[in-house]
Amino acid sequence: MDPPVVRFPKVGQAAGMVLVRRRFLLSLRDRYGPTFVLEVPPFGKTLVISDPTRLKQLFTASPEIAGTPQPNLSRMLGSGSIFGLDGEPHRQRRKLLVPPFHGKRMQAYAGLIEEEFRKEADTWPLGREFATLTPFMRITLNVILRAVFGAGGAEFEELREKLPLFVTYGSRMAVVPFKERSIGPWNPWRKLREHRAAYDAIVQRLIDRARSEPGDDILSMMLQSRYEDGAPMSDAHVRDELLTLLAAGHETTATTLAWAVERLTRHPAALHALVDDLDQGGTDLLAATILEIQRSRPVVLNTARKVLADGLTIDGFNVPKGWTVLAGIDLVQNDPEAFPHPERFDPNRFVGVKPATYAWIPFGGGTRRCVGAAFANLEMTVVLRALLRDFELRTTYAPGERWHSRGVAYAPHQGGRVVLHRRDKRQEPAEGARMEVRA
C-alpha cells in the first residue's frame, strides 16, 4: 500500500520544514499517520517514517542502497567529513574514527571534563537566575579542544574565539534549502568560507605539532591511524573530521545539558530522587535520567538517507531511487505506541531497562550512528553528577521553555534558566561507586 501524500504547495512544505519543522511534522503525523510523503526542495520526494518497524528497515538497509542525502552538513564541514562520504569510503573512515571514543581511552577524559566544569562553575552567579546554555557551551568547547584537538596556548584561545561563531553560522546555513549562490549583492556562503579558512590555518598548526610531538589526544590518534591499505588520512580530511567532531558534539551536548536543567527544575520529584540517589553513590538513575532527557527533548529532530539504488522497501512500499527517507527522531520518541505517556518526564521508564534500538534514536541509527555517542554521554554524566553534587537547583512552577531552532540543534528558548545555590556540604559518591556511561 502506497503511503499518503501531503497535498499542498511545495513552497508551503519547504516553509514548514525550515521555519516550524517540529510543529509541522507533528501535525502531519497526527493527520496522516507514521508514514507520509512530502516534496521538499532541494530533497524532492521525501518519505517520512516514524515507527520502530519502518525505522529498522531503513537503518539496516545496505549503504549502497540508502546513503547520505545531499546537501548536508558537509557544506560546512568539508567534503572529507564523514557526513560527505558514502559506501566503502564511509565504512573505512568510520573504522578509523570509532576506536578513540570507546574503552579506557575515553574514560581517561572524565577528569578533564570535571576540571572544565569546576573552572566554569566557579564563575556562576548564586541566588540569581541565569541561562545555562552558554556556560555549558564553554565547557563542552573546552573539553573538545583539549581532548580532541589537543589544543593549548595560542591555538586554544584562537579556536575558543573563532569556533563558536563559525559553528553557529554554519549550523544555520546547513538547513537553508537552496544551493550555494548569492542573494542579490549578498553571498552568505562567502562568509562561511572565510570562517573555514581561518579554522584551517589554526588547525594545520596543531596537526604539524601533533605529527612531530604526538600526545594522547584524538588528533594524535587520527594522525597515527591507517586505512586497510596502510595509507594515512590526508591533512585536509583530518581538518574536516576534527570540525565534524566539534560541530556534532559541542553544541548538541551542551544543549542536552541545558534541557536537563530545564526538565529537572520543573519536575521536583525527579530532581530530588536523583540527588538522593547520587548522594548514596547510585548511578542507574542518573543514566536513566539522561536517556529520558534525550528521549523527550532530542536536540536533532531528524536524520535522513538518500535512496541510491533500487531495493529499499519500507513496509511493503518500494521507495524509488532518488527519493529521500526522513527518519523522525522526535516523532518516534514522542509516540505513545513506542513510549506510553510520552508527554510525561519520567526517568523511571529507563531504570533497569535498555531503550529499544529503533525507538530511542537521538544519535541516529545503523552505519551512520554518531561515532561520538559514548563520549557525549560521558560528558553529560560527569557534568550532571558534578552539578547536582555541588549545587542546589531551585525548582519552578514556570511553564516549560519552548523549543528554539538554532539551525541544526533545538535548544530551550530561554537557554535553560536556573537559580543555583551552593550545597552546604558537597556529597561525594559512596565508597566503591563506579560511574557507568551508556551510549
Q: How far is Cα 403 from Cα 410, in angstroms, rounded to an integer?
A: 6
Task: Check if CATH label 1.10.630.10 holds for domain 10-422.
Answer: yes
Closest CA to 100 of 192, 214, 217, 185: 217
Q: What is 293-320 written as a DSSP string?
A: HHHHS-SS-EEEEEE-SS--EETTEEPP
3-class state of residue 339 by DSSP: coil
pLDDT for position 437: 46
pLDDT for position 73: 64
Q: How far is Cα 190 from Cα 180, in angstroms, rounded to an integer?
A: 9
Beta bridge partners of 307: 66
The pLDDT profile of the chain, 439 residues, written as one tens digit per residue, is 799 999 988 889 988 988 899 999 999 999 999 999 999 877 889 999 999 999 999 999 999 999 988 655 666 677 788 888 888 888 999 988 887 777 677 778 899 999 999 999 999 999 999 999 999 999 999 999 888 888 778 888 888 888 877 777 666 665 555 555 545 556 677 777 888 888 889 999 999 999 998 888 888 989 999 999 999 999 999 999 888 888 778 889 999 999 999 999 999 999 999 999 999 999 999 999 999 999 999 999 999 999 999 999 999 999 999 999 999 999 999 999 999 999 999 999 999 999 999 999 999 999 899 888 999 999 999 999 999 999 999 999 999 999 998 877 899 999 999 999 999 754 454 443 444 444 4
pLDDT for position 362: 96
CB atoms within 10 A of CB 202: 18
Listed in sequence order, the residues at least 6 apart from 196 whose beta carbon sits closer than 8 Å to its beta carbon are: 76, 78, 166
Q: How far is Cα 324 from Cα 301, in angstroms, rounded to an integer?
A: 16
Do 327 and 304 meet the contact criterion of CB atoms below 8 Å apart? yes
- Bridge-based pairing of strands 44-49 and 324-328 is parallel
pLDDT for position 18: 83
Domain spans, the chain: 10-422
413 assigned binding-site residue: no
